[in-house]
Homo-oligomer: A and B are copies of this chain.
């Protein structure tokens, strides 16, 4: 299993609303993530809207993203979340992968 770290940005104006949506992620979106190999997936927020994502997957971020991109529910979710990013982009098109330089089991 590989460990993936990435970041993206949410606009600071509507953070409370953005967070609230993440307490009620659609069950079919959660199922698509599971079936696309997103394991132990967490999202962390800095007060200014910077987001850090962490998950574990068998292959790579790009492979896990490609599997999600093939699902209809992901398109709907990303469109739903686009107004919350700082550029009105689909969040998943702005992911910046980070380099793991240390790990301790």
Contact = CB atoms under 8 A, between A and B. Distances in A.
A64 interface: no
Contacts of A40: 104-105
A45 B96 CA distance: 11
A54 to B, nearest CB: 5
Interface residues of A, number: 30
A64 to B, nearest CB: 12
A43 interface: yes
Interface string A86-105: 00000000001011111111
A102 B34 contact: no
A17 B13 CA distance: 38
Interface of A: 3, 5, 7, 19, 22-23, 25, 30, 33-34, 38-46, 52, 54, 96, 98-105
